[in-house]
Structure 1
Amino acid sequence: MSAPTALITGGTSGIGKATAELLHARGYRVIVTGQNPDTIAAAEKALPEEIVVLRADARSLTDTDRVTEEIRERFGALDVLFLNAGIVRGRPVAAFDEATFDDLVNVNFKGQFFTLQKTLPLLSDGGSVIFTVGIGAIRGISGGSVTSATRGALLSLVPSLAVELAPRRIRVNAVSPGAVDTGIWAKGGLPPEAIEATANATASRVPLGRLGTSEEIAEVVAFLASTAAGYITGENIIVGGGGGIGV
């Protein structure tokens, strides 16, 4: 019997990369995608050589088709789909322009939906689909309106997909990280001093008194991917140190 196969979008850094390393250590064949040349190059050096690293822009359905075909040719099927790719653009409503709005929708929602659609024929019966949502989808975060809305759109998919795919015993769940130190604030364009201030202020509002780690989120994803979570579907697992952020 061949090892299970997992595709992780947004898998070249942060939570995706930590999950790739963990699943590989547990015997999975792993494919990760990313679109930033720097993080792709770093991942190729840092990840075990057995992990396949592919360049794919979540906004591009052509890229998604190419990744799907490569998985078909290399592995024939998928057992786990971790839809983790996403971007953050923190700003007040008045500061949003159409291009930024569209970018968030295309990466965080449209890209993940069509990745699922296109890879679904490869997904084995009894497989697992996991979305990264984020605590902002259910708790208010100043400046996070559109980012949270796109993640909330993913969250609204989960119950319906869980019902739709249940005849194939495919489980569909979400994981919602709270305050996790993944480096994503830097990707949002904040200067270093603002990043540090944001991280400190956020950690101070978490009951456990600290930011989480990518590795801690990866453990939850690995659980949802496994047969140990065989009776869990349609759920959103919050991993946020007790919550309290955005209050």
Structure 2
Amino acid sequence: MVQQGSAVNPAAEPQIALVTGSSGGIGAAVVAALQARGDVVIGADRAPLDGQSIDGFYELDVTDEQQIGQVVRDVAATHGRINVLVHAAGVLGGTPDPLVTTTEEFERIMRINATGTFTITRDVANLMRDSGTKGTILLLSSVAAKEARVDYLPYNASKIAVLHIMWSMAKILGPNGVSVNAVNPGPVNTPMWSQLADQAGAAQAARDARAAQLPMQRFAEPTEVANTIAFLTDPANRYITGVSLDVAGGAHLGIGS
């Protein structure tokens, strides 16, 4: 029987948040945003970020299933629980043209962006459900998942896979009080966009042309994406689940993204 007034109040003690991709542009901004509200933040990435102040860090290859499991178990053993997972780890890929993209590269990008997302989401979901933790899982997709594009096909395909992982897990974990959502950034001032612009051959011209397509006429800053993630991972907002939220300056307002 569903009880009236059974909503969960904001946590009285700090949340334990695991942030993958914590050394990247968006991931580092998420670390800072969650720490600013009082969370204990544990980072995970291929290498630590110089000068980053963080409550704990693990070197993590998201294609290594055993390593993911060990990190999740260790964070839970050290801190007693995981209340929040923000999975921001991912890569763009090195070949814009799908017609010359190798099968090996396609599989590599899918393994990092899609399979890695599934693995860590599954492991944290099982931990939350088994421990009775009413937490939040937040995945990073992209506006690129929502339309046909002529470049970076493995990345785009991997990001629609992330949305399907989110939708399924939201339905599975809802009865356990766990919310699962995704944020879909548009162009953001991060090293990933710099890579894309550089590969286009005229970095500043590519940035200017892309920004001109957006109603906001500019790229997002990592902090703007992080602020949205902080909102969706706040325990007061846990009733929001299964949501795919664009943080893209109006990218889909009739002009594409």
| Normalised TM-score (structure 1) | 0.90
1:200 aligns with 2:208: yes
Distance in structure 2 (CA, Å) of the matches to 1:98 and 1:155: 23
Number of matched residues?
240
Q: For the Cα contact (< 8 Å) 2:98–2:153, is it kept in 1? A: yes
Q: Which runs of 5+ in 1 are unaligned?
A: none
Which whole-Å deviations, capped at 9, do the CAs of 1:13-63 have from their partners, x for residues lacking one? 21111000110111001111111x4xx2xx2x3222x42121101111122
Q: Secondary structure at the match of 2:149?
A: coil
Shift of 1:191: 5.0
Quote the residue 1:211 is aligned against. 219
Shift of 1:197: 2.8
Tell me the amino acid that sits aligned with residue 25 of structure 1: A
Quote the residue 1:80 is aligned against. 84
Q: For the aligned residues, what is the CA RMSD?
A: 2.0
Distance in structure 2 (CA, Å) of the matches to 1:197 and 1:103: 30
Q: Secondary structure at the match of 1:6?
A: strand
Q: Which runs of 5+ in 2 are unaligned?
A: 1-11
Identical amino acids, percent of aligned pairs: 27
Tell me the amino acid that sits aligned with residue 250 of structure 2: G
1:18 aligns with 2:29: yes
Quote the residue 2:113 is aligned against. 108
After the TM superposition, which segments of 4 or more aligned residues of structure 1 sit over 6 Å from their partners? none
Structure possessing the higher radius of gyration over alpha carbons: 2
Quote the residue 1:56 is aligned against. 60
Distance in structure 1 (CA, Å) of the matches to 2:107 and 2:216: 36
Quote the residue 2:15 is aligned against. 4
Shift of 1:66: 2.3
Tell me the amino acid that sits aligned with residue 108 of structure 2: D
Quote the residue 2:103 is aligned against. 98
Which of 215, 236, 239 aligns to 2:247? It is: 239
Matches within 5 A, 1:38-57: 40=48, 43=49, 45-48=50-53, 50-57=54-61
Q: Would you tell me which structure has more helix in proportion to its own residues?
A: 1
1:171 aligns with 2:182: no
Shift of 1:239: 0.7
Distance in structure 1 (CA, Å) of the matches to 2:18 and 2:116: 14
Which of 18, 27, 43 aligns to 1:32? It is: 43
Matches within 5 A, 1:135-174: 135-174=143-182
Select between 11-20 and 177-186 the one with higher mean Cα deviation.
Answer: 177-186
